[in-house]
Structure 1
């Protein structure tokens, strides 16, 4: 190996230089803004709710959202994917906190509707004004189909 073949690797110890610190702060702010953008978009559009309640970061709708925004920022795809994953986790935790608070209230006041909050799909259907009975029938049919497949 000649002198020109060697590559220098730089590792940051201690405090970064002024230029590096400025770039780190810019990157952090851009990442936070991107994550907030994803949170705002998904929280205000009910088509994402079921995937958020299930913490499904790989859902096609969520990945399409990330890809559609990718060209609007300079962070790159890795930061974009991480930002949307973080946004999904935060929104999932928020939805679950609401669900658990609702479950606790209902448990003590109206136990007859506990299935609506104990099953994510029924909770999602009620939030989106869908026909909960149709969702429940679809769940029952899916369970019957799985049982029939096991018995074959």
Structure 2
């Protein structure tokens, strides 16, 4: 031990390296935490969108449109959200891919309508989770603190 109160150069260098590493790790952890929150929020929103189809409750305009063109959607449809993946598309842009399954035989257009509803509720859930301003009437793109999030069409398995 140095009795003159001086700290050795090695100790200062070691402490500096540790502090720099901690700052780097903290930044990475915060970024990964935000992505985890996005995934969790997307899962809740996608499930809400799937549940809206399961209940088959719609606004009057939507009901009338479905009644004339897509009567199958007026009956409850069991939809399971299988998986949600997140991939980066640029520095601050993320793409969500939602995989769903239904035992009900649906046409391409019916799947597209259900996909749009699931994606809408997914984007809305993300935007509301991060308390961001609504970006257009369809929440496109969804916003988090540091990212813009787009949703691809639901992939049906």
Q: Give the alignment's TM-score, normalised by structure 1.
A: 0.33
Q: Which has the higher strand share?
A: 2
User: Which one has more relative contact order, counting CA pairs under 8 Å at least 6 apart?
Assistant: 2
Q: Give the alignment's TM-score, normalised by structure 2.
A: 0.32
Q: Which has the higher helix share?
A: 1
